Amino acid sequence: MPTLRRNPITGRWVINPDAKSGRTSSLLEMEKLIGEGICPFCEGNEKYTPPEIFALRGGESEKDGPGWEVRVVPNVSPALNVEPELDRRAERMYDLMNAVGAHEVIIETPQHVANLADLDASQIKKVIDTYKTRILDLKKDQRFRSVFIFKNYGERAGSSPIKHAHSQLIAVSVTPKNLKEELMGAKKYYDYKERCVYCDMIKQELSAKRRIICSNTDFLAVTPFASRFTHEVWILPRKHSADFESMRDAKSQNLASLLKEVLLRLKILLDDPPYNFILHSGPNRTKRRGEAWKTLSEDYHWHIEIMPRYTRIDGFEWGTGLYINATTPEEAAGSLRGVKI
Amino acid sequence: MPTLRRNPITGRWVINPDAKSGRTSSLLEMEKLIGEGICPFCEGNEKYTPPEIFALRGGESEKDGPGWEVRVVPNVSPALNVEPELDRRAERMYDLMNAVGAHEVIIETPQHVANLADLDASQIKKVIDTYKTRILDLKKDQRFRSVFIFKNYGERAGSSPIKHAHSQLIAVSVTPKNLKEELMGAKKYYDYKERCVYCDMIKQELSAKRRIICSNTDFLAVTPFASRFTHEVWILPRKHSADFESMRDAKSQNLASLLKEVLLRLKILLDDPPYNFILHSGPNRTKRRGEAWKTLSEDYHWHIEIMPRYTRIDGFEWGTGLYINATTPEEAAGSLRGVKI
């Protein structure tokens, strides 16, 4: 049984997938397919993936057959499983629970294209719509405290051997450390100022201009003031909103075109760099969580963080959490703005 | 001027070294030397490094000449500089300060050996003594809130092109996120239980035995209950102590032999893996910091964290701080115990 274990000092959770779950053998099978020149994510090869969870499809097409636009399947080597019991328990001074959750793969296009940056904005819009659908569905399950969408592009960013453009979704029964830090930090700021820290940041960036890469009526792309990585980019909705999945359709279109523009600028400037992106949206709220989450819709602000990964993280950064970034965000924004697209 | 910038949401600091400080050109010079087959860290090549800050030397030998056992020099491309003014300031809602600090390199042996694991325990003892000397010296400067010793071994762990065994030291004017989390977590536990969380952990590990790799009268090496990395190892002093640098001489000898044993077991089991290690010692305490640090010598417990780095960290782990570790610490401890040395 996969477990979630808690560090008794810092409260950080770690997932231990079940070594006996066949995680490795399924991965090896995928690698074998790739070696034979078969891409399991291409249209027509649906039989090589587990049965689909969801797909955007044309009217006539059938489940697990061709004719889809975006397709969602379970991860063949999931870090978590959808199990019936959370079973929070103690092992003397330690805390653990079953690693209940979902681990899905969003195949972003039926064609064999590697980088999301190379898809049309209209296709990226469909990917965003799929993210929304899956998050809304999973948040119905109150065991799942948070749902993340993320992407590993390129080997250095931890991508799988499958090059075909895809992102992943993980739903977990805990609030992971980094999200908790953001939630708590944003709440502290709100308690003190009665304003959202992200909204204040957006206002300041709009007036300072130096760290803005591009924007449209609904979204802003900036290099954050304390960027951890060279050319790190955040995309934020201009109007306050805690939850990505509550975004209306017209906004999704604007997000798609801004996301495409940012990824394209990064691709051209940095010569197709490996990158990660991660969507930070508000956690799944239930009444019993009470006071702490009460103001959350006012004090948290969803956003996407994009991190090019062409520098290695060394022991100092790992061990301390203090990052060293050789390029100032002002320089980075300047060069990203300067890219001809 | 290099700066430290604070993320206004999470409070995380980031170092922006000065791009114009010649950081890159000095690194390129070092790479050129290596290309010509000259190791700047070998005995006899002292002229290729900046003047030494400290060295353990035989009586007759001269500064910046041969005859040393362990040698400390400034990092040629420092992330921080020893500047006169901290100058904490605001840029509207953002906080920043000059990146005042020290960045040093500890050359662990005059011979051209790459892995600390391959040095004699008596030589490792000299390295540990040097760590102590440097930390004690730097903590005299009250601007430096914390001093870290760390090591990047192997390319994946972020090592420099210089293979010759060396570790690094960074002293900074802030308490980095990860250390602060530990300090706060340990304090919370202490406030509640009036016991040190690390001491409790050591007792539980000694009685459970499953996660112990090896030990001696003064130190214990365990795979922590919530290991983030496969075969992550922590070395802790059995007797409570907040500060590494207050360790007595007899203990240093025992630490040297346990550290050697652990590194050797990792080397044999994992076929000379890349790894990071980092020393977490209590921060520099001054009176004016008051209440929060008062109990610190009772609630914090110094330790060394060793992290083999043969798996890549993907976007999910980066973005959430929730790690996925395929090997349980019990399995890892079992295989490390089983290594014949």
Residues B181 and B133 in one domain: no
Average pLDDT, chain A: 91
**A81/A140: higher pLDDT:** A140
pLDDT of residue B262: 98
Chain A residues touching residue B314 (CB < 8 angstroms) = 150, 152, 157-159, 276
Q: Which of B172, B197, B218 is the last residue of a domain?
A: B172
| Helix intervals (H) in A230-290 | 249-270
- Tokens at B137, concatenated: 């010296």
- Tokens at B85, concatenated: 């003014």
Residues A139 and A194 in one domain: no
Measured CA distances, B25 to A93, A171, A270, A316, B222 (Å): 51, 46, 21, 22, 41
Chain B residues touching residue A312 (CB < 8 angstroms) = 155-156, 158
Residues B182 and B85 in one domain: no
Q: Which of A172, A207, A230 is the last residue of a domain?
A: A172
Strands B146-153 and A166-172: unpaired
Yes or no, beta carbons of A150 and B312 under 8 Å apart = no
Q: How far is B94 from chain A (nearest CA, A)?
A: 8
ipTM surpasses 0.95? no
Chain B residues touching residue A277 (CB < 8 angstroms) = 315
Residues A146 and A159 in one domain: yes
Of A12, A305, A316, the CB nearest to B321: A12
Of A151, A182, A201, the CB nearest to B10: A182
Q: Apex CA A273: angle with CA A270 and CA A274, to 5°?
A: 160
| Cα separation, B116 vs A238, whole angstroms | 52
Yes or no, beta carbons of A320 and B148 under 8 Å apart = yes
Chain A residues touching residue B172 (CB < 8 angstroms) = 322
| Cα separation, B259 vs B270, whole angstroms | 16
A252-266 per-position pLDDT tens digit: 999 999 999 999 999
First to last CA, chain B: 49
Q: Count how many residues are written for chain A.
A: 341
Rounded to two decimals, what is the model's pTM?
0.92
Query: Which of B124, B88, B341, B109 minimizes the C-alpha distance to B235?
Result: B124
pLDDT of residue A255: 98
pLDDT of residue B21: 53
Query: Which of B247, B288, B255 minimizes the C-alpha distance to B136?
Result: B247
Chain A residues touching residue B305 (CB < 8 angstroms) = 319
Residues A149 and A290 in one domain: no
Mean pLDDT of A46-52: 95
Cβ–Cβ contact B93 with A under 8 A: yes
Buried b / exposed e across A162-199, counting CB within 10 Å, b at 16+? bbbbbbbbbbbbbbbbbbbbbbbbbbebbeeeeebbbb
**Total number of domains constituting chain B:** 2
- CB within 8 A of A17, min separation 6: which ones? A2, A23, A77, A78, A79, A80, A99, B324, B326
Query: Which of A2, A5, A177, A16 minimizes the C-alpha distance to A91?
Result: A5
Q: Would you tell me the crossing angle of helices A121-138 and A249-270 to the nearest 10 degrees?
A: 120
Yes or no, beta carbons of A93 and B150 under 8 Å apart = no
Q: How far is A177 from chain B (nearest CA, A)?
A: 5
Chain B interface test: which of A1, A3, A4, A7 (most B C-beta within 10 Å): A7
Q: Which of residues 143-172 of A touch B (CB under 8 A)?
A: 148, 150-152, 155-159, 168, 170, 172
Measured CA distances, B87 to B90, B99, B160 (Å): 10, 9, 31
Give residue A133's Cα distance to chain centre. Answer: 15
Task: Indicate the residue type of A215.
Answer: S
Yes or no, beta carbons of B324 and A152 under 8 Å apart = no
Q: Count how many residues are written for chain B.
A: 341
pLDDT of residue B295: 56
Yes or no, beta carbons of A316 and B150 under 8 Å apart = yes
Yes or no, beta carbons of B318 and A312 under 8 Å apart = no
Under 8 Å between Cβ of B9 and A199: no
The answer on pLDDT for A11 being more than 70 is yes
Yes or no, beta carbons of B7 and A225 under 8 Å apart = yes
Residues A132 and A245 in one domain: no
Average pLDDT by stretches of 10, chain B with 341 residues:
91 81 69 91 95 92 96 90 84 93 96 95 98 96 92 85 93 91 94 95 96 98 95 97 95 98 97 94 72 69 93 78 90 96 87
- Tokens at B222, concatenated: 């365990």
Query: Which of B161, B239, B256 minimizes the C-alpha distance to B199?
Result: B239
Q: How far is A60 from chain B (nearest CA, A)?
A: 36
Residues B198 and B331 in one domain: yes
Q: Which of B138, B172, B206 is the last residue of a domain?
A: B172
| Cα separation, A297 vs B225, whole angstroms | 35
Residues B146 and B213 in one domain: no
First to last CA, chain A: 49
Chain A interface test: which of B3, B6, B14 (most A C-beta within 10 Å): B14
Q: Apex CA B200: angle with CA B338 and CA B232, to 5°?
A: 40
Residues A186 and A270 in one domain: yes
- Tokens at A284, concatenated: 């799944």
Task: Indicate the residue type of B118.
Answer: D
Chain A interface test: which of B324, B327, B335 (most A C-beta within 10 Å): B324
DSSP string over A65-132: SS-EEEEEEE-SS-SSB--S----EEETTEEEEE-BEEEEEEE--SS----GGGS-HHHHHHHHHHHH
Cβ–Cβ contact A262 with B under 8 A: no
Task: State whether the Cα torsion A317-A97-A174-B315 is positive or negative.
Answer: positive
Q: How far is A221 from chain B (nearest CA, A)?
A: 17
Cβ–Cβ contact B277 with A under 8 A: yes
The answer on pLDDT for A71 being more than 90 is yes
- Tokens at A6, concatenated: 């808690």
Residues B166 and B204 in one domain: no
Residues A282 and A163 in one domain: no
Query: Which of B81, B90, B210 minimizes the C-alpha distance to B143?
Result: B81
pLDDT confidence of A286, banded at 50, 70, 90?
Answer: low
Q: Which of residues 67-86 of A touch B (CB under 8 A)?
A: 79
CATH number, domain containing residue B302:
3.30.428.10
pLDDT of residue B294: 53
pLDDT of residue A79: 84
Q: Would you tell me the crossing angle of helices A177-193 and A197-208 to the nearest 10 degrees?
A: 80
Domain assignment of residue B117, given as a range? 3-172
Under 8 Å between Cβ of B1 and B15: no
pLDDT of residue B341: 87
What is the chain B residue with the closest CA to A320?
B178
Report the helix count and the strand count for chain A, using DSSP H and E. Answer: 9, 15
Chain A residues touching residue B325 (CB < 8 angstroms) = 14-16
Residues A127 and A211 in one domain: no
- CB within 8 A of A119, min separation 6: which ones? A108, A109, A113, A127, A165, A260
